[in-house]
Structure 1
Amino acid sequence: MSGTSLDGVDAAMLQSDGQEILAFGDSGYRAYSAQEQAVLRSGLGCWQDAPEVAQVAALCEQAHEEVLAGFEGAELIGFHGQTLAHDPGGRGTHQAGDGAALAARLGKPVVWDFRSSDVELGGQGAPLAPFFHFACAKWIGATEPLAFLNLGGVGNITWVDPRKSTPEEPGALLAFDTGPANAPLNDLLQQRRGQAYDKDGALAAQGEVVEGALELFLDDPYFPKIPPKSLDRDAFADMLDLVRELDDGDAAATMTGMAATAVMLALDHCPTRPHQLLVTGGGRHNPVMMQMLEASLDCAVKPVEMVGLDGDMLEAQAFAYLAIRVAKGLPTSSPETTGVSALVGGGTVSYPANNPA
C-alpha cells in the first residue's frame, strides 16, 4: 500500500480464506526519498493521459517490486497503486501503476485496480478497508459496535457491528471519509519548514487552535453530507489559505484541530455511538491529535495496538485480504461502505506468463 501521505510503501503478509483472518505474517516498509516524493507529487491530480503519469507509475512499480522481493511464500499479491486523482461521479478514479507488469516481474499473480468497478457502478470507490475492518472486529472478539479510524493523508472511519455474520449483511458496516487528516498538515510542514510531517505533534504542541479558521473550515458542505462519501487528497486544498496568516505553531495546531473536529462530526453519522474508536494510520503517532480526539469524543479512543493489531500495516493487510476476496469472487464493497448500487467485487487479477489463469 502506497497512500496519500506519500511517505513510502507498506507491505504485509496475511493468511485468510477471504472471510476470517487466519494469521498475520511478516511486514516490510520501503520509504520514498525526498526526490521520489517530489516525483509522486508531480503526478497528483493527473489522469491517465497526463505526461507525468508514466514516471510516477514506473517509480511506484519499482518501489513495490523492491519491498515485495523480500517476502517468501506469498501465493497472491494485492497491489493498490498510487492514487493520483479521485473524482467519483466525474472522471472516475486513477491509481498509477500496472499490476500486470508487477506480476511479470515477481512471477506471481497480482490483484490490482481495486476501485474502478465500484466507481463504474455508482460507488465512491472509497474507503475499501471496511470489509477487512469487519474481519478485524471478529478477530479481536468484539461484541459491541465499534469504529476504526484511519488517519492517513485523508481520514476515514468504519463503523462495525460485529454481531452481524458477514460484512455484506445490511447494517454490518457504514464507512466514509471523515475529512482531511495528515496530508494538508504534511504540506504545511513541507512548505514552511522543509519537513515531511509534524513529528510527535511537536509543532502543534507549541501553538493553539484558532477558532476563526476552524469555523471557516467547518462551513464546508462536505461535513453534513450524508455518507457514504469520499474525498480526494487535495479536496480541502484551501486549508493552507485558512492558516496562511498564522505563525507555524498556531497553524499546525489549527490544522490538527481541523482533522480531529472532522472526526467528531463524522460520529454523528454513525447508526449508534461506537463503544470504542480504534485509531490506525500515521495520525495515531501524533499525541496532540490523539489528545484532541479523546477530549472531543464520548467513547474510548485507542491506538489499534491496544487490541493486538498493527496500525502501521493495517491498510496493507487490508489489500492483502481484499486480494484474496477478489480471487475468490467475493464482494469487496457494498452500498453501506461506498454507496455502490449493489455488492461489487472490485479488482483485476493479472497472472505472470509462466502461471496463467
Structure 2
Amino acid sequence: MESGWSLGLMTGTVLDGNIDIAMLRSDGETIDEFGPYELVPYAQDIRPLLAEALEAARAWNFEGPEPAIFRRAEAALTEAQSVAVLDFLARHGFRPEQLGAVGFHGQTVLHRPPVAGRRGATRQLGDGELMARLVGSDVVYDFRSADVESGGQGAPLSAVYHRALLERLGAGADSLVLNLGGVANLSWWDGEPSDQGRLIAFDTGPANAPIDDWVRQHTGAAMDRDGLIAARGQVDEPRLQALLEHPYLAAPYPKSLDRFDFQAEMAAGLALEDGAATLTAFTAAAVDRAMALLPQRPERIVVCGGGRRNPTLMRELAHRTGAEVQLADTVGWRGDAIEAECFAYLAMRSLRGLPLSFPLTTGVAAPQPGGRLARANAPA
C-alpha cells in the first residue's frame, strides 16, 4: 500500500468542548509528512449531553441494556465531528475523497480492563457509518473492541505510533513517551527493529482528571490553569505516600485505567491549594513507579497531551522521577496533535491489516489488528 493522507479525530475524557483534528501522510509504518492540525470547538455545546452520558455509563457499568442517552449523544457528537471535519478539509484545501480514511476514535464513556475470570469491556460513542455518509470518506472506527474481545486491555493504543515517532527522532531505550490526558500512559521501545523489538505501554495512573475535578468542585473553574493553584499549595507527603501504596501502581503491565479509577476524593479534607498540589504530585510520583517496572529506566521523558501545559506538573515530574523532562514540542513533535495523529496513523494500519496492539501493550496473546471500516459509498 502506498503512503497516503489520513485524518485523525480525538476527544478526551476531560470534556473540554474541543475536537483534535490532524492529518498525516503515512503507509501505517513510516511517517512521511505531518499535515495540518487544529483544535476545533464543537459547533454546538454538546458537553452537557456528553457529561450526562458519562454519568449514565458509570451507573450502567456494562450491566443490562445500554442507557438510552448513548444513542442521542452518539448521533450528536458524530454529526458535530463530521461538520468539523468538512470545515477543516475546506480550510486546508483538501477534499474528502483525497483521504485514505478518517480515523474516528469517538468519545470514551466507560472502560473496564479485564481481571481474572472476566473479560474487559470498553465503550466509545461514535457512529462510523453515519460519519462516512456525512463526510464522504471511508471511516475507521471502534478501534478498541477487537483487542478487548481477544482478551486485551483495549488500551493504550498509542504505543505503535509513539514508536514511529521515536524512530523518526532516532531515539530508543533511553527515552519514553508520556501522554498526560485524563489518564497518564507511557510507551517505551527498546530500539530494536520494529518486527523484533519490545514495545511496552500501559497507563501509569491519573493525570489531569482528578486535578480538574478537584478544582471544578471547589472553584467552578474547568482546570488548574498553568498549575497556579497547585503551585501555591503544599504536598501532603504522608498522604502521597499512602496513595502510592495503591496496588495498581505495583501491578505488572499490561494494564489500563478508566478515567474515574482515581478520583479527586483522594485529596478529601485538604485545602484547595494543598489538594491540588498533592494530586499533581501523585500523578508525577505514579509515573516514577511506572518507570521502575520497565526493563531499563529511561533517562528522558518526552511529554505530550494537555498536562504538559501545567508547569507545576512538569516540575513535579522532573523532581519525582529524576529524569530529563522534555515537552514534545521541543523535539519537533506537535504536542497537542499527537493523539489525533495517532488515530490517523492507526486508520492506515487498519486498512492494511497491520496490528494496532501487542502482547506488551494491551496483553493480547499475539499482535492484534483492529478497527471497523465504514465505506463512504456503502448503501444507506
Q: TM-score range by the shorter chain?
A: over 0.9
Counterpart of 1:58, as a letter, is: A
Name the structure 2 match of 1:261: 285
Give TM-score, length-normalised by structure 2. Answer: 0.88
Q: Give the whole-Å Cα distance in 1 for the aligned partners of 2:279 and 2:102.
A: 36
Name the structure 1 match of 2:100: 75
The DSSP-based 3-state class of the residue aligned with 2:250 is coil
* Deviation at residue 18 of structure 1 after TM alignment: 1.1
The DSSP-based 3-state class of the residue aligned with 2:33 is strand
Alignment of 1:50-89 (within 5 A): 50-69=67-86, 70-71=88-89, 72=94, 73-89=98-114
Deviation per CA, 1:227-278: give whole Å up to 9, x if none. 01000010113xx223221111111111101111111101001111113110
2:270 is the counterpart of 1:246: yes
Name the structure 2 match of 1:22: 32
Counterpart of 1:5, as a letter, is: V
Q: Give the whole-Å Cα distance in 1 for the aligned partners of 2:44 and 2:286.
A: 29
Distance 1:31 1:100, change over 3 A: same
Q: For structure 2, list consecutive stretches of 5 or more residues without a partner in the other structure.
A: 1-9
2:358 is the counterpart of 1:334: yes
Name the structure 1 match of 2:14: 5
Q: For structure 1, list consecutive stretches of 5 or more residues without a partner in the other structure.
A: none
What is the aligned counterpart of 1:169 among 189, 193, 196?
196
Q: Give the whole-Å Cα distance in 2 for the aligned partners of 1:249 and 1:285.
A: 18
Alignment of 1:141-156 (within 5 A): 141-156=170-185
Distance 1:259 1:39, change over 3 A: same
Counterpart of 1:257, as a letter, is: A
Distance 1:25 1:68, change over 3 A: same
Partners of 1:146 and 1:161 within 8 A in 2: no
Give TM-score, length-normalised by structure 1. Answer: 0.94
Which segment drifts farther, 86-95 or 186-195? 86-95
Q: Give the whole-Å Cα distance in 2 for the aligned partners of 1:143 and 1:214.
A: 32
Partners of 1:6 and 1:32 within 8 A in 2: no
* Deviation at residue 354 of structure 1 after TM alignment: 6.1
Alignment of 1:193-272 (within 5 A): 193-237=219-263, 240-272=264-296
Which segment drifts farther, 91-100 or 324-333? 91-100
Partners of 2:266 and 2:279 within 8 A in 1: no
What is the aligned counterpart of 2:154 among 106, 116, 125?
125
Distance 1:326 1:311, change over 3 A: same
Paired positions, count: 351
Q: Give the whole-Å Cα distance in 1 for the aligned partners of 2:42 and 2:272.
A: 25
The DSSP-based 3-state class of the residue aligned with 2:302 is strand
Partners of 1:159 and 1:174 within 8 A in 2: yes
The DSSP-based 3-state class of the residue aligned with 2:247 is coil
RMSD: 1.8
Distance 1:100 1:236, change over 3 A: same
The DSSP-based 3-state class of the residue aligned with 2:81 is helix
Q: Give the whole-Å Cα distance in 1 for the aligned partners of 2:25 and 2:232.
A: 44
Find runs of 4+ consecutive structure 1 residues off by over 3 angstroms.
Answer: 32-35
2:140 is the counterpart of 1:111: yes
| Identical positions, percent | 41
The DSSP-based 3-state class of the residue aligned with 1:230 is coil
Distance 1:97 1:143, change over 3 A: closer
Distance 1:313 1:59, change over 3 A: same
Distance 1:309 1:119, change over 3 A: same
* Deviation at residue 2 of structure 1 after TM alignment: 0.8
* Deviation at residue 62 of structure 1 after TM alignment: 2.5
* Deviation at residue 33 of structure 1 after TM alignment: 8.9
Q: Give the whole-Å Cα distance in 1 for the aligned partners of 2:146 and 2:357.
A: 10
What is the aligned counterpart of 1:278 among 291, 295, 302?
302
Deviation per CA, 1:290-342: give whole Å up to 9, x if none. 00111122321100111100110101000100000000111111001111111
Deviation per CA, 1:21-57: give whole Å up to 9, x if none. 0000001222359953222121126157112212321
Q: Give the whole-Å Cα distance in 2 for the aligned partners of 1:30 and 1:318.
A: 17
Name the structure 1 match of 2:7: none
The DSSP-based 3-state class of the residue aligned with 1:76 is strand
Q: Give the whole-Å Cα distance in 2 for the aligned partners of 1:107 and 1:44.
A: 29
The DSSP-based 3-state class of the residue aligned with 1:202 is helix
Partners of 1:325 and 1:331 within 8 A in 2: yes
